[in-house]
Amino acid sequence: MPTTADKLDALAPLPTSEWDDDAVRHLLRRVGVEPSADDVEYYGGLGLDLAVDTLTHPERVPYNLVAPRWATRDFDDLAEAAYAGDTEPMIDPESQLAELREWWIQRIRHTRRPLEEKLTLFWHSHFATQADRVRSPRLVYRHNQMLREHAFDFFPVLVTAVARDPAMIRFLDLESSQLDRPNDNFARELMELFTLGEGHYSERDIAEAARAFTGWTVQGERAVFNSLRHDDSEKVFMGQRGRWNGDDIIRIIFEQRRASRFLPEKLFRYFVNPNPDPGLVAAWSDRFDEVFYSTRDWLGELFRSQSFYAVENRQVRVKSPVEFVIGLYRQLEVEEAPATISALALRRMGQELFQPPDVDGWKEDTHWINTHTLLMRYHFAYFCATGTVVDGLRDRAAGPLHEAQYQPLFSARDWVTPARYRNPEACTEALLQRVLGRSAEPREIIHWSDYLQTASNNARVSFDLERRMPSRRFQDASYLLLCSPEYQVC
């Protein structure tokens, strides 16, 4: 167990003198995706306290990206409109999901509330639902919005909202759970995946909780409680006897000490280090209990702490596909990117939005990298640098994608054209600063300067940025940097 001194050290805030560009960039990579130069300048200028306060109170920052109209219309409104003959063109569910994915990709790319989207993505995996089982893109959208609205809430409040969410009710078969045939899917995942973790409940607890949650169903597109289908008899759950309903089950769960440990451990691995020091995690878990399960307050303290910015916690997380793809767009200031390519790249890299692999959500960190998904990252980087769609990023079901229709999504030459970049060393510094977000080391300056002065046929070329240096050499250099091991981590 951590001592009082250890706990104070873990929670101590970062000294003002250490709030530099590297610290700002580290914070923004973890609370969002790769930041742009403007992001670093803006949040750096706010100072640590105000920067964290702004990130953890997104409601203070105006931003909204309107969702597709079909997603926001109420089910009853649609029924009334249909009755009145006021119908909209029919859109098949697959097309609706494609629209929804593009909407979320654009939201993450352009948001002024990065932590709101990053936390929504975390909850999307934690409270996983799959679009193909929910069978309603509108319910998928509402589930996503519910997670966003409660993202910073007290954890028990969020869990209660999830238990009454139509998409979750449908996904975990609460619709089929009734008085004489309770279904234990939701009850099991509530404890195993949402609040306590495996081994901290009994099979009897699952059975009793399943009885308590009977009666919930989906009518139209609303969660409805039907008392005639609810088991109102006495139950014994975690040693407590009573005529418990679902809210009682959630209340009793959060009376268990383990409930204050499970989520902060997972959040710490997500935002700080996938392989953390146990004593550090224990100290932060204690703090989660002390702030009464307030996700907002806990994250605010975490992002101000010395432990968050410690050297051993930087550049240790493998970027998720969302962080890699959308982070590249944001960092390199790519304004327009083909929606089909973006969504397909995420799917091929293992993170198809609204379709986690199973009830356990996505595995993080090194699980994102294997021989196939790493190759997809290289293919995507090549597409961004050259505009060429290689076979790995072709969706044959959607028809051919012609290479000629795309241009490179950024110009590396534009990064090195100012007058001060008249030599290969200065250009190397500009490239590494733009792509990797740091200064070049002496050995890197030698290596990349040599690369910039070597033609594709390995012939030596004289460096003349204004007349003779081909743009392709800078594009190739940026592509190789995007494929580097360093760019895969944050």
**pLDDT one-digit tens code per residue, 435-470:** 999 999 999 999 999 998 887 777 787 777 666 666
pLDDT of residue 484: 97
**Residue 80 predicted with pLDDT over 60:** no
- 320-351 pLDDT tens trace: 999 999 999 999 999 888 888 999 999 999 99
- The answer to whether 340 touches 50, Cβ cutoff 8 Å, is no
**Residue 82 predicted with pLDDT over 80:** no
pLDDT of residue 101: 97
* 468 in any annotated domain: yes
Q: What is the mean pLDDT of residues 356-383?
A: 97
**Residue 141 predicted with pLDDT over 70:** yes
Contacts 24+ apart (CB under 8 A), 346-351: 346/101, 346/105, 346/321, 346/322, 348/372, 348/373, 348/376, 348/392, 348/393, 349/321, 349/324, 349/325, 349/373, 349/376, 349/377, 349/380, 350/321, 351/320, 351/321, 351/322
Look up the domain containing 467 and give its range. Answer: 412-488
pLDDT of residue 417: 81
pLDDT of residue 292: 95
Task: Name which of 313, 300, 305 is nearest 51 in CA terms.
Answer: 300
pLDDT of residue 200: 97
Q: What is the mean pLDDT of residues 356-374?
A: 97
How confident is residue 402, by pLDDT bands cut at 50, 70 and 90? very low
Q: What is the mean pLDDT of the chain?
A: 91
* 419 in any annotated domain: yes
Sequence-ordered alpha helix ranges (H) in 310-435 = 321-331, 339-348, 371-386, 412-415, 424-435
Rounded Cα–Cα distance for residues 131 and 99 (Å): 13
**Residue 10 predicted with pLDDT over 90:** no
**Residue 64 predicted with pLDDT over 60:** yes
**Residue 16 predicted with pLDDT over 50:** yes
**Residue 296 predicted with pLDDT over 90:** yes
How many percent of the chain have pLDDT more than 70?
Answer: 91
Q: What total number of domains does the chain contain? A: 1
* 398 in any annotated domain: no
Q: What is the mean pLDDT of residues 144-170?
A: 98
Rounded Cα–Cα distance for residues 320 and 323 (Å): 5
Give strand ranges (E) for 53-210.
none
- 89-103 pLDDT tens trace: 668 999 999 999 999
Q: What is the mean pLDDT of residues 476-488?
A: 97
pLDDT of residue 473: 86
* 203 in any annotated domain: no
Q: 5-14, 18-27, 116-125, 282-291: which range is least confident on average?
A: 5-14
pLDDT of residue 220: 87
**Residue 399 predicted with pLDDT over 60:** no
* 416 in any annotated domain: yes
pLDDT of residue 359: 97
Q: Which residue has the higher pLDDT, 421 or 185?
A: 185
Q: What is the mean pLDDT of residues 306-319?
A: 96
* 322 in any annotated domain: no
Q: Both tokens of residue 335? A: 């304004």
How confident is residue 403, by pLDDT bands cut at 50, 70 and 90? very low
**Residue 404 predicted with pLDDT over 50:** no
Task: Name which of 269, 278, 273, 299 is nearest 287 in CA terms.
Answer: 299
pLDDT of residue 461: 75
* 166 in any annotated domain: no
**Residue 83 predicted with pLDDT over 60:** no
Q: What is the mean pLDDT of residues 272-288?
A: 94
* 429 in any annotated domain: yes
Rounded Cα–Cα distance for residues 363 and 365 (Å): 7
CA 164 to chain centre: 23
Q: What is the mean pLDDT of residues 226-245?
A: 97
